[in-house]
Structure 1
């Protein structure tokens, strides 16, 4: 009988199967690329089978057997990891480690109240936090490096079970002397001829901003138009760029109430016309044995909405 694969070997294989990139798979598993590669090669020797097709250059191509083993390995690993989690959850719900992932356009404004809520209401949870883009957080969630994510939807998060908490309305930020400053609300159509400052590629807020801009019938901008858009790595940087007169931006209310305009000659106006908000929500692995814990946390976190009227019903989709 062949020896059983180790959980670590399965994690390496699953990560590579999902990400199709050795570097990203290694990062998701928090190991070096050489360690991940060696682990998969050791698994191949152990099974006396080829799991990867190495005749196609640098592309990651699984053999039919490798693909099947990755699928079975995912099921086996989920079942294995569920055993201690089920035991802990049955003995005492909401205890033990909680590895939380949060995106950069939420973290600076929500981490403090999140931590306070957990420490006050769920003191038996041992919290750790990682900040990253949605794509990278979902990768880490998929390979078991994180337990739960705080997300801004809509986003490409089909691989996670999600639960919306509240709507976070979008506002336009602009220099104090900007022509749009005379308006009490800015219709999305008025964004068509503006120089927009957006988050850089990889941030879901960039895609959400583009979706808002495209609601205006005159909008013809694209992600690639470097002559008409600037990009920022954080909302604080965006506010500074707006204050320098480089353009205007679209930011969520959560960030405004977090003080990103403080110290800048910048004002904000609500957007109007169509769905002009993002949805703050939680995400976790489907079929997680801790799903009920996460739903309890969702109820607690709903109280952190800046305004009670933004809170969504739990069955909102």
Structure 2
């Protein structure tokens, strides 16, 4: 173990006040959130800047605070330090064999309906003293939140993963076409994208799903006629159910009816026979995993797999 040669010149309280001010964007909002005076927040940031010998933010009365490049870097380290401090406190207060504390989880929106309920219920049953908070968002935003320390883990598709992100594969799913039940091609077990080239498409317009779908169409030699765009998985299915076009999706709900009760069908894509997309659990490469995070990874690998229906 490395020897501690000097006591840090800053406190966890100063880091906490700085982190909350950065998240809230104003001194007043940070003070309200922490139930302390604005002067206490301002003084803590000033003392932290003095201890670190850098300017962390620009404070403007009418415009809140803006982090400097140094402030952004310190914020990343502050999140990690405070997370470890919270973990130490939680583990010291309870049994060494019992996990406790909070985990921040990210999930790509189309994966959330099938992954999150299973994960939240199952992991909480196994570790009742751990609270898992979740955030849904675009894949690039989730990866950025992992790298800045806002999230511990995230469930993502194996698409456009940054090199600073480590991942394990949970399961695989094949892309499929969603059609109205009355569509002439619905009677087939497999549909070719080229047979839909002249029909309107409902594009799931959320990165990287939209890029992936358009690339698959290009590889099949077609340029789809995108009629509607939506970031909602269920809205896309509902528009298909109304006969307004077809969609290409990966996740498939157990119920093949829309919110209006209109039936839709899911058919394999002829040009993509044998092709599947991996669903991943990801975390920052240079972050030490907490016991909670490591346990959640193990739980996901155990219960979210191709052999376990979800």
TM-score above 0.5, yes or no: yes
Map 1:79-98; keep pairs closer than 5 Å.
Answer: 79-85=81-87, 88=91, 91-92=96-97, 94-98=99-103
Mapped to 1, the partners of 2:74 and 2:57 lie a distance apart of 16
Q: Which residue of 1 aligns with 2:297?
A: 295
The answer (yes or no) to whether the contact 1:191–1:213 under 8 Å persists in 2 is no
Which of 210, 222, 226 is the equivalent residue of 1:219?
Answer: 222
The alpha-carbon distance between structure 1 residues 295 and 175, as it changes in their structure 2 partners (threshold 3 A), is: closer
Which of 15, 21, 35 is the equivalent residue of 1:7?
Answer: 15
The alpha-carbon distance between structure 1 residues 134 and 195, as it changes in their structure 2 partners (threshold 3 A), is: same
The answer (yes or no) to whether the contact 2:257–2:263 under 8 Å persists in 1 is no
Mapped to 1, the partners of 2:82 and 2:117 lie a distance apart of 33
1:229 aligns with 2:227: yes
1:257 aligns with 2:254: yes
The answer (yes or no) to whether the contact 1:172–1:250 under 8 Å persists in 2 is yes
Q: Which residue of 1 aligns with 2:214?
A: 210
TM-score between the two structures when normalised by the length of structure 1 = 0.68
Deviation per residue, 1:171-206 (Å, 9 max, x gap): 111123323324311234445443211123x44322
Deviation per residue, 1:221-244 (Å, 9 max, x gap): 5xxxxx733112322211111122
TM-score between the two structures when normalised by the length of structure 2 = 0.70
Note the residue ranges of structure 1 that are not aligned, 5 or more in a row.
14-25, 55-60, 222-226, 312-317
Figure out how many residues of one structure are paired with residues of the other and give that number: 276
Q: Report how far residue 255 of structure 1 moved.
A: 2.7
Mapped to 1, the partners of 2:284 and 2:76 lie a distance apart of 12
Mapped to 2, the partners of 1:154 and 1:81 lie a distance apart of 29
Mapped to 1, the partners of 2:194 and 2:98 lie a distance apart of 49
The alpha-carbon distance between structure 1 residues 42 and 241, as it changes in their structure 2 partners (threshold 3 A), is: same
Q: What is the aligned-residue RMSD (CA, Å)?
A: 4.0
Mapped to 2, the partners of 1:158 and 1:9 lie a distance apart of 32
Q: Report how far residue 143 of structure 1 moved.
A: 3.5
The answer (yes or no) to whether the contact 1:186–1:271 under 8 Å persists in 2 is yes
Note the residue ranges of structure 2 that are not aligned, 5 or more in a row.
1-7, 31-37, 60-65
**Which range is displaced more, 289-298 or 234-243?**
289-298
Question: Counterpart of 1:273 in 2: which secondary structure?
Answer: helix
Question: Counterpart of 2:131 in 1: which secondary structure?
Answer: strand
